[in-house]
Amino acid sequence: MKKIWWKVLCIVLLLYVAIMGFMGPVPHLPILNESIRNTYFHVALWLAMTTLLFSSMVYSLMYLRSGKLQHDDIASELAKAGLFYGILGCLTGSVWANFTWGDPWPNDPKLNGAAVGILIYLAYMLLRSSFEDEQRRARIASVYNVFAFAVFVPLIYILPRLTDSLHPGSGGNSTFGSYDMNNDLRKVFYPAIIGWILLGLWTAELRVRIKRINRFREEELAGDRKTL
């Protein structure tokens, strides 16, 4: 039970978010109206994505220090989970933008920065597939991952605040929390962030286990060939 409590918590939280996200009370604000429910998905997914990508960078640093492939395995799968959340965040954001701004992809610095950030991490995945030697792949990919996160954060959270942007907290707009966050939203929003993070960790853990099983099988096959 010690190993699965957080998985049970993940399921409970996301069930709660799904139910309250569509049926719970929300503030009725001009323009946003019922679309504010997307806060539990679009905004929470992006915050969860940032957490996963930060964790991926930490494990890349751990690999560069230790040289253990286990750390690189975790880093790569956390990055994949974060990238998947980023794509979902763009899709949910496009739906929201279409309802509130009348355009699924307006010329907005934060949206454009998000697209560039996703391309950076897609390049990370492509880089990993370019090397057959595991240690060389892990070493180069880890260095790239550290710099990728260092570039990603300014693209998403810093540069949009320095220019005109439709997003809250940017270009002189009031921040998200000060404008449309209330206690009804917070009761679902914070559990949503935790639930999405736990789901991303769960997905990464399963993929790491599969990767280690496949590596073990390959090593066994290589050993069998040597004995023949």
- CA angle, corner 169, sides to 15 and 28, nearest 5? 50
- pLDDT tens for 42-90 read 999 999 999 999 999 999 999 999 999 999 999 999 999 999 999 999 9
Token pair of 213, please? 């099983």
pLDDT at 63: 96
Question: Which one-letter amino acid corresponds to residue 79?
Answer: A
Tell me, yes or no, if the pTM score tops 0.75.
yes
- Residue 136: Cβ-neighbour burial (10 angstroms; 0-12, 13-18, 19+): exposed
Residue that the structure tokens 């009348």 belong to: 102
Least reliable range by pLDDT among 13-17, 20-24, 52-56, 119-123: 20-24
End-to-end CA separation in angstroms for the chain: 44
Picking from 149, 173, 184, the residue whose alpha carbon sits closest to that of residue 39 is 184
- The chain-wide mean pLDDT, for the chain, equals 87
Torsion angle in degrees (nearest 10) through CA of 62, 64, 65, 70: 50
Helices 69-100, 42-66: axis angle to 10 degrees equals: 160
- pLDDT tens for 150-188 read 999 998 888 887 777 766 655 555 445 544 567 888 999
d(CA 201, CA 189): 19
Question: Which one-letter amino acid corresponds to residue 150?
Answer: A
